[in-house]
């Protein structure tokens, strides 16, 4: 799979994204490009050539480190601009009502940290979130999901299939997607590249199931009963950088 | 079950609904009240009493006939106010976009003639329609669904259960519901008591299934691909009567 042309292409795109402020996508591309280059270099028999490559790799790694620092800076919480406590059994809170106003034309990249993405209603919530993102953020170019890998064998295959299909669907809409598994993840967070960070205690999954199934609230989540959770909207201090 | 007090109560409510312009609900109440009264009278041994009751029943039947004529008049199509042809695979057509603007504060009663209401996606479409009705028509008091009775045993029980649960759910929101089965039904029609009649060739079911399941359009039907169908919005001639 790995060849220097492919690596080069990834790294050129990484630099382009970096320069145009798409730092999440740049981070992914640097990482992938460096990985590919390393794989190739390890198979290169000529030591002189390997040395040249290693110098290049070092340069890219420095850039990747710099961008990692920028990403981490962006993810640092700044000031709280809104706080809402949703009480058990409250209604009136669809995603649009809760945080739709913070998703706008300036949102070019989105990062969702959501530990639980393994069951049908959880995939449905993710799609619901992405439908809102596509509606409100016409310039969205990159989406990263970080979630836990399903351990229960009954969910593992579905997780790969469903997240893979969601990724392919977004890519057909020219939104690059990266899905990362992190088993230690706990906190839920939605980072928007316009500088807002949405922290919901329960993440995207703060709704009760409809009961009975076919009742008002099945589709329109403004009618859904909620679980208790807090919604904090932060604005990143470095959002102008 | 039947007793004269219950019949009397139904018929008093029928007259009230009739007088306040809720003619669909009045029609249901007259029919139910007359049925109850008939059942009771048939069990009355005293012929003189039976005769008195029959006179009353005759009066109510005349009123019921008069209201039936009014309902039929309302259901007569007047002039077309809008025509839209939805092409196969078109997107952008959720219920709100297609006919939401005709559902308003003046809509007190709704009648839906929809032959096929037997499968999961069809119940989901009905709930989606009702969510829009509740959102746009704050004064909605009565909903009647006319549909075909499921013949396939694998759907029969579900139809009773699901439509029963939808009815109970609306009644908790103070919307009276009547569900009628008519096996000869073919045409789809949505009658709104503000005078608009929505005729869609495929009724509520003009969407393709999401493919794959978890993809944009699962929840937000503006992103769903449509089947070819025509949407005609009529305005009833007698809507001021």
Note the Cα B116 to chain centre separation in Å.
14
Average pLDDT over chain A reads: 93
What would the pLDDT profile of B146-158 be if each residue is shown by its tens digit?
999 999 988 999 9
Question: Other CB atoms closer than 10 Å to residue B23's CB: what's the count?
Answer: 21
The pLDDT of residue A158: 95
Measured CA to CA, the distance from residue A3 to residue A40 in angstroms comes to: 6
The pLDDT of residue B1: 45
CB contact under 8 A, B216 and A126: no
- Give yes or no for B219 touching A (CB within 8 A): yes
CB contact under 8 A, B215 and A124: no
DSSP B165-230: HHHHHHHHTT-EEEEEE-TT----EEEETTSEEEEETTTT--BPPPSSSSSTTSS-GGGSPBPPEE
- B90 CA to chain A: closest CA distance, Å? 16
CA-to-CA dists, residue B68 to A63, B74, B139, B197, angstroms: 79, 10, 23, 18
A237 has a pLDDT exceeding 90: no
Q: Out of A124, A173, A216, name the one closest to residue B127 (CB).
A: A216
- E strand or H helix at A189: strand A189-192
CA-to-CA dists, residue A151 to A122, A148, A156, A164, B108, angstroms: 16, 9, 6, 17, 52
Fold (CATH) for B4-74: Methane Monooxygenase Hydroxylase; Chain G, domain 1 (1.20.58)
Query: Can you tell me the mean pLDDT for A2-15?
Result: 86
CB contact under 8 A, B214 and A126: yes
For residue A129, what are the contacts with CB-CB under 8 A and spacing of at least 6?
A95, A112, A190, A204
For domain A78-235, the CATH architecture is: 2-Layer Sandwich (3.30)
HSE value, Cβ hemisphere, 13 Å, CA-based, for A42: 7
SS3 of A130-186: HHHHHHHCCCCCEEEEEECCCCCHHHHHHHHHHHHHHHHHHHHCCCEEEEEECCCCC
A39 has a pLDDT exceeding 60: yes
The pLDDT of residue A1: 45
The proportion of chain A whose per-residue pLDDT surpasses 70, expressed as a percent, equals 97
- Give yes or no for A165 touching B (CB within 8 A): yes
Task: Give yes or no for a contact between A145 and A112, defined as CB atoms under 8 angstroms apart.
Answer: yes
Q: Out of A123, A165, A214, name the one closest to residue B166 (CB).
A: A214
Instruction: From A129, A39, A91, select the one nearest A207 (Cα to Cα).
Output: A91
- A&B contacts, CB < 8 Å: 79
Task: Give yes or no for a contact between B187 and B202, defined as CB atoms under 8 angstroms apart.
Answer: no
A241 has a pLDDT exceeding 70: no
Q: Out of A124, A132, A214, name the one closest to residue B127 (CB).
A: A214
What would the pLDDT profile of A41-95 be if each residue is shown by its tens digit?
888 889 998 898 899 899 999 999 999 999 988 888 789 999 999 999 999 999 9
Burial class from Cβ neighbours inside 10 Å (0-12, 13-18, 19+) for residue A218 reads buried
Task: Give yes or no for a contact between B117 and B165, defined as CB atoms under 8 angstroms apart.
Answer: no
SS3 of residue A197 by DSSP: strand
Candidates 3.30.870.30, 3.40.50.150, 3.90.800.10, 3.30.70.260; CATH matching B79-235: 3.30.870.30
The pLDDT of residue B238: 62
SS3 of residue B152 by DSSP: coil
Question: Other CB atoms closer than 10 Å to residue B185's CB: what's the count?
Answer: 17
Q: Out of A131, A166, A218, name the one closest to residue B124 (CB).
A: A218
Helix axes A47-75, A4-19, angle to 10 degrees: 30
The pLDDT of residue B74: 87
Task: Give yes or no for a contact between A218 and A232, defined as CB atoms under 8 angstroms apart.
Answer: no
A239 has a pLDDT exceeding 60: no
Instruction: From A139, A141, A116, select the one nearest A126 (Cα to Cα).
Output: A116
Optimal mutation site among B164, B216, B217, interface A, most CBs of chain A within 10 A:
B216
- A128 CA to chain B: closest CA distance, Å? 6
Which own/partner pairs from A121-124 qualify as long-range (CB within 8 Å, at least 24 positions apart)? A121/A205, A121/A209, A122/A204, A122/A205, A123/A162, A123/A163, A123/A166, A123/B214, A124/B214, A124/B218, A124/B219
Spans of chain B, pLDDT less than 50? 1, 240-241
Domain parsing of chain A, residue ranges = 4-74, 78-235
Token code pair at residue B31: 């029919």
Chain B residues in contact with A132 by the CB 8 A cut-off are: 220
The pLDDT of residue B2: 54
For residue A143, what are the contacts with CB-CB under 8 A and spacing of at least 6?
A109, A110, A111, A112, A130, A133, A170, A175, A176, A177, A178
- A90 CA to chain B: closest CA distance, Å? 16
- A134 or B154: which carries more pLDDT confidence? A134
Residue in A closest to B125 by C-alpha? A219
- Give yes or no for A179 touching B (CB within 8 A): no
SS3 of residue B92 by DSSP: coil
Task: Give yes or no for a contact between A204 and A129, defined as CB atoms under 8 angstroms apart.
Answer: yes
Chain A residues in contact with B162 by the CB 8 A cut-off are: 212-214
Report the complex ipTM.
Answer: 0.88
What would the pLDDT profile of A180-204 be if each residue is shown by its tens digit?
999 999 899 999 999 999 999 999 9
CB contact under 8 A, A135 and B212: no
CB contact under 8 A, A131 and B169: no
């Amino acid at each position: 799979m790995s060849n220097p042309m492919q690596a080069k292409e990834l790294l050129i795109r990484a630099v382009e994204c970096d320069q145009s402020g798409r730092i999440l996508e740049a981070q992914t591309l640097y990482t992938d490009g460096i990985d590919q280059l390393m794989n190739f270099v390890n198979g290169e028999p000529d030591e002189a050539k390997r040395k040249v490559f290693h110098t290049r790799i070092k340069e890219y790694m420095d850039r990747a480190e710099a961008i990692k620092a920028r990403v981490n800076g962006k993810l640092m919480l700044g000031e709280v601009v809104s706080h809402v406590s949703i009480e058990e059994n409250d209604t009136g809170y669809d995603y649009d009502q809760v945080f739709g106003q913070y998703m706008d034309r300036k949102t070019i990249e989105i990062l969702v940290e959501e530990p639980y993405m393994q069951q049908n209603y959880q995939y449905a919530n993710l799609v619901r979130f992405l439908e809102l993102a596509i509606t409100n953020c016409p310039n969205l170019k990159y989406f990263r999901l970080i979630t836990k890998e399903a351990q229960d064998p009954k969910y593992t295959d579905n997780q790969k299939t469903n997240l893979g299909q969601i990724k392919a669907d977004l890519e057909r809409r020219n939104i690059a997607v990266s899905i990362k598994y992190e088993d230690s993840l706990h906190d839920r967070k939605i980072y928007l590249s316009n500088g807002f960070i949405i922290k919901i205690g329960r993440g995207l999954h703060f709704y009760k199931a409809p009961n009975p199934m076919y009742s008002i609230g099945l589709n329109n989540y403004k009618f859904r009963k909620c679980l208790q959770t807090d919604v904090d909207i932060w604005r990143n201090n470095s959002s102008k950088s």
